[in-house]
């Protein structure tokens, strides 16, 4: 856990701010559909839980993740992107 938190702090000057997170449920839902994330629940605070099947964001050309993931029941893959931080991924 310590190493993941250290990784999250790497390059914080380049990391996107909280302003980059979606502000509405509709925006969040649209992006999740675009990314082919299924079986999700969006909470009132817009955090996203994935009930089954996991999340695969491989090769999506992302430089940040614009939603806050909470519990993901399954694997979470985000390799082969241009991510500068893992902000948006609950650790």
pLDDT at 18: 57
pLDDT at 88: 74
| Tokens matching residue 69 | 């993931």
Rounded Cα–Cα distance for residues 23 and 26 (Å): 9
pLDDT at 90: 64
CA-based R_g, the chain, Å: 13
Global pTM reads: 0.75
How open is the CA angle 11-54-88, to the nearest 5 degrees?
25
Residues of the chain with pLDDT under 70: 1-18, 90-91
| Tokens matching residue 24 | 């509405």
Rounded Cα–Cα distance for residues 62 and 81 (Å): 5
E strand or H helix at 28, and its extent? helix 25-34
pLDDT at 89: 76
pLDDT at 25: 97
Of 39, 54, 91, whose CA–CA distance to 70 is shortest?
91
């Amino acid at each position: 856990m310590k190493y993941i938190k250290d990784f999250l702090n790497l390059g914080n000057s380049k990391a996107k701010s909280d302003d980059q997170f979606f502000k509405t449920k509709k925006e969040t839902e649209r992006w999740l559909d675009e990314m082919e994330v299924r079986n999700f629940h969006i909470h009132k605070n817009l955090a996203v839980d994935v009930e089954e099947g996991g999340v695969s964001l491989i090769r999506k050309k992302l430089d940040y993740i614009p939603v806050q993931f909470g519990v993901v029941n399954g694997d979470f893959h985000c390799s082969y992107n241009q991510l500068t931080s893992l902000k948006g991924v609950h650790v």
